[in-house]
């Protein structure tokens, strides 16, 4: 970072916005330290952080209106998505906000060359030492340690701005963000090579030789082996996609964001293709690294999450082109080592990058998330608004709904901590973000043939404490709530909140290749790339017929068009226990375990090929 040598001259010359004294500052945001975090040390004064300053988007309500109109199959504008430039024009801040923030930054000696602006100028990014950030925000940064994992972050619990600047800044991070980005996977691990070889041999037998057929909930015959091992063939049979061959493979595209140094190994992908998708053998994906993200091909570094995502998303949608993103995230901070950056808001780093691109994959699946309450509401709202921008541009976004039911993603029910972070420690179900964002499609998990809600780890689901219930799901969700016993789980969830998941797919016993060895893996991390694979095929069908891509899916999925056609397989058995409760039940219609159900590709294809 370069601070101007003319700092004092600049400060005195800025008559419109001189450096405010400390008394002029007022607290803009304050949070309680989430459970599990303890103050570890003072942050070194010269530790560098990258501050992202979010300016208001005064016309976002107009963008939202466009989003819902172009995503509603019964609206005359269905499919008339906006361009990148049209979206940016709608989210641009007012000139007054730009001037106010520019003057504030200038008053601290920052020049235009020290700033990085988003294309719409609604974000300004600066890299500054901790001591400098503390002065700008009238705050104190510390090193905080997560007692269970050992993770460390440089954060503060409150920050301030001059009073007159409050209306011109929505959010500044990293400040109060204590979220711990995690994947929604649950892996079966074997303790020794002999046991591993035994399981692999048994799984291979199941894959290669079916012992008969069973009937799925939609009345289709499915190989009996699919009750034990999930493969590409099983998913095609279960979801009525056998025999479909993509045609517009230069237009329909699919993308997978990766985080937490999860590397997608091409050798593992080839082993998977050789076994389950031989026509895809020797094909691969495009790799894009963000913020220094890499994808080394040392087989020992192959990541389970990455393997699951790319093998099934790209295997189901082949030969549709696939892209794998790796965003460098959460570099470890050690107080005695001067690391150049320290942030764990990786999905927003990815979002910034993608929004700046002219062309993006039309279908994107993400298998990561945070406990909603560990993400400051101001930041969650801005990230969610970014997802809305992609939807308005014609991109279908899917997120895993999380694992371990209504709890805090802790696999041990006895130690789940289901408490609020508002200082009151009230018992509460824990929603998952970004799945709780109303502008994305949240994917829950099922298992077995016929399908029931996944039981080994529990499908995440519930109701947002940040976002109100959107109109597109109001009737379906209200029907579920009305059927609950009076005062059912009173106070444990927000009945008026955005409900999730929206839909579901198989979520356990997936057969992947990892580090050269076949393994079984599960989680809603499997459900999301699976559903996305079928969405990529639906996009291909529409593009082949000269129609625009699907874009934001939820208004379509909740529409009477889909309901009348029975294009989603309703799951009515199972639950998602957590927080010392049985959780919610799967039932007829929408439920906070499996949503509206699993896809019937054939029926969905017929719907999206109509005259919309």
Averaged pLDDT, groups of 10, the chain, 612 residues long: 38 38 80 89 91 97 98 96 98 97 96 96 96 97 88 92 97 89 59 43 52 66 94 97 90 94 96 98 97 94 96 98 88 43 68 96 95 91 97 98 83 75 87 96 96 89 97 98 92 96 97 96 95 98 96 98 96 94 96 98 96 74
| pLDDT for the residue 362 | 98
Cis peptide bond N-terminal to 319, omega within 30: yes
Catalytic choice (118, 525, 528, 575) = 525
Give me the architecture of the 183-608 domain, per CATH. 3-Layer(aba) Sandwich (3.40)
Residue 569's SS3 state is strand
| pLDDT for the residue 191 | 36
Q: What does DSSP assign to residue 578?
A: B
Catalytic choice (72, 88, 309, 403) = 309
* Residue 135: closest CA among 7, 315, 287, 224: 7
- Round the CA-based radius of gyration of the chain to a whole number and report it: 24
CA distance linking residue 166 with residue 20, whole number of Å: 13
Query: Is 223 annotated as ligand-binding?
Result: no
Query: Is 607 annotated as ligand-binding?
Result: no
Instruction: Give this prediction's pTM.
Output: 0.91
Strand extents, DSSP E, 387-459: 396-400, 432-433, 441-447, 452-453
Query: Is 405 annotated as ligand-binding?
Result: no
| pLDDT for the residue 59 | 97
The verdict on whether 42 is a catalytic residue reads no
Q: What is the dihedral of CA 78, 83, 86, 87, to 10 degrees?
A: 80
| pLDDT for the residue 604 | 98
CB–CB of 16/121 below 8 Å? no
| pLDDT for the residue 2 | 44
Q: What does DSSP assign to residue 403?
A: B
Give the strand pairing for 286-290 and 322-327: parallel
Residue 328's SS3 state is coil
The verdict on whether 305 is a catalytic residue reads yes
| pLDDT for the residue 330 | 52
CA distance linking residue 536 with residue 247, whole number of Å: 11
Catalytic choice (223, 305, 352, 403) = 305
CB–CB of 184/403 below 8 Å? yes
For residue 336, count other CB atoms closer than 10 A to its CB.
6
Indicate the domain borders of the chain. 7-57+92-177, 183-608
| pLDDT for the residue 328 | 85
| pLDDT for the residue 19 | 44
| pLDDT for the residue 179 | 80
Residue 511's SS3 state is strand
| pLDDT for the residue 9 | 32
Query: Is 370 annotated as ligand-binding?
Result: no
The verdict on whether 525 is a catalytic residue reads yes
Cis peptide bond N-terminal to 434, omega within 30: yes
CA 41 to chain centre: 31
Angle between helices 84-91 and 60-71 (to 10 degrees): 140
| pLDDT for the residue 407 | 84
Cis peptide bond N-terminal to 501, omega within 30: yes
């Amino acid at each position: 970072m370069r601070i101007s040598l003319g700092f004092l001259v600049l400060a005195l010359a800025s008559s419109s916005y001189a450096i405010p004294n400390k008394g002029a500052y007022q607290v803009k945001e304050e949070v309680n330290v989430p459970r599990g975090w303890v103050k570890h040390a003072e942050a070194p004064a010269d530790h560098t952080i990258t501050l992202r300053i979010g300016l208001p988007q005064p016309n976002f309500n107009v963008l939202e209106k466009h989003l819902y109109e172009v995503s509603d199959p019964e609206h005359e504008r269905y499919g008339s998505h906006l361009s990148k430039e049209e979206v940016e024009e709608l989210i641009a801040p007012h000139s007054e906000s730009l001037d106010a923030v520019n003057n504030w930054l200038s008053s601290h000696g920052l020049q235009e060359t020290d700033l990085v602006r988003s294309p719409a100028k609604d974000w300004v990014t600066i890299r500054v030492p901790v001591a400098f950030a503390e002065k700008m925000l009238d705050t104190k940064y510390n090193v905080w340690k997560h007692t269970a994992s050992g993770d460390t972050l440089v954060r503060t619990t409150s920050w301030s701005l001059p009073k007159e600047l409050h209306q011109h800044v929505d959010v500044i991070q990293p400040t109060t963000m204590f979220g711990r980005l995690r994947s929604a996977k649950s892996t079966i691990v074997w303790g020794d090579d002999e046991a591993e070889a035994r399981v692999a041999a048994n799984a291979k037998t199941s894959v290669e030789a079916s012992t008969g057929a069973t009937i799925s909930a939609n009345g289709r015959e499915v190989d009996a082996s699919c009750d034990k091992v999930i493969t590409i063939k099983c998913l095609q049979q279960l979801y009525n996609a056998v025999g479909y061959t993509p045609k517009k493979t230069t237009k329909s595209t699919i993308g997978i964001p990766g985080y937490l140094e999860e590397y997608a190994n091409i050798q593992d992908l080839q082993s998977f293709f050789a076994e389950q998708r031989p026509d895809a053998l020797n094909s691969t994906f495009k790799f894009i690294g963000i913020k220094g993200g890499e994808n080394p091909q040392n087989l020992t570094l192959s990541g389970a999450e990455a393997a699951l995502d790319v093998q099934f998303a790209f295997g189901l949608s082949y030969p549709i082109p696939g892209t794998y993103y790796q965003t460098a995230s959460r570099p470890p901070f050690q107080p005695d080592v001067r690391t150049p950056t320290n942030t764990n808001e990786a999905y927003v780093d990815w979002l910034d990058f993608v929004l700046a691109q002219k062309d993006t994959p039309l279908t994107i699946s993400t298998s990561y998330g945070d406990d909603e309450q560990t993400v400051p509401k101001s930041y969650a709202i801005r990230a969610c608004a970014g997802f809305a921008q992609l939807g308005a541009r014609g991109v279908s976004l899917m997120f895993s709904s999380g694992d371990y039911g209504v709890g805090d993603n802790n696999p041990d029910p006895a130690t789940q901590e289901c408490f609020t972070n508002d200082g009151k420690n009230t018992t509460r179900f824990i929603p998952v973000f970004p799945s709780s964002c109303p502008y994305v499609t949240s994917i829950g998990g099922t298992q077995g043939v016929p399908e029931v809600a996944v039981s080994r780890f529990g499908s995440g689901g519930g109701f947002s404490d940040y976002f109100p219930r959107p109109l597109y799901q109001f009737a379906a969700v209200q029907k579920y709530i009305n059927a609950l016993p009076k005062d059912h789980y009173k106070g444990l969830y927000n009945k008026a909140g955005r409900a999730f998941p929206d839909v579901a797919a198989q979520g356990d016993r997936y057969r992947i290749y990892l580090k050269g060895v076949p393994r079984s893996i599960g989680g809603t991390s499997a459900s999301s790339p699976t559903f996305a694979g079928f969405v990529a095929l639906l996009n291909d069908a529409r593009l082949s017929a000269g129609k625009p891509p699907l874009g934001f899916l939820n208004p379509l999925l909740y529409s009477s068009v889909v309901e009348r056609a029975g294009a989603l397989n309703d799951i009515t058995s199972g639950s998602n226990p957590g927080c010392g409760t049985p959780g919610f039940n799967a039932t007829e219609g929408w439920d906070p375990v499996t949503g509206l159900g699993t896809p019937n590709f054939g029926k969905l294809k017929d719907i999206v090929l109509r005259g919309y």
